[in-house]
Amino acid sequence: DAGITQSPRHKVTETGTPVTLRCHQTENHRYMYWYRQDPGHGLRLIHYSYGVKDTDKGEVSDGYSVSRSKTEDFLLTLESATSSQTSVYFCAISDFGLSYEQYFGPGTRLTVT
Partner 1 sequence: AQTVTQSQPEMSVQEAETVTLSCTYDTSESDYYLFWYKQPPSRQMILVIRQEAYKQQNATENRFSVNFQKAAKSFSLKISDSQLGDAAMYFCAYRSRSSGDKLTFGTGTRLAVRP
Task: Determine contact, residues 67/78, Cβ cutoff 8 Å.
Answer: no
Nearer to partner 1, 12 or 17 (CB): 12
**48 interacts with partner 1 by CB under 8 A:** yes
Q: In angstroms, rounded to a whole number, what is the distance separating the alpha carbons of residues 39 and 24? A: 26
Q: Closest Cα partner for 45 from 32, 56, 59, 55?
A: 59
- Binding segment (CB under 8 A) for partner 1, from list 10-18, 19-27, 70-78, 87-95: 87-95
CB neighbours (10 Å) of residue 27?
14
The answer to whether 54 contacts partner 1 (rule: CB under 8 A) is no
Q: Which residues contact partner 1 (rule: CB under 8 A)?
A: 31, 33, 40-45, 48, 50, 56, 58, 88, 90, 92, 94, 96-99, 101-102, 104, 106-107
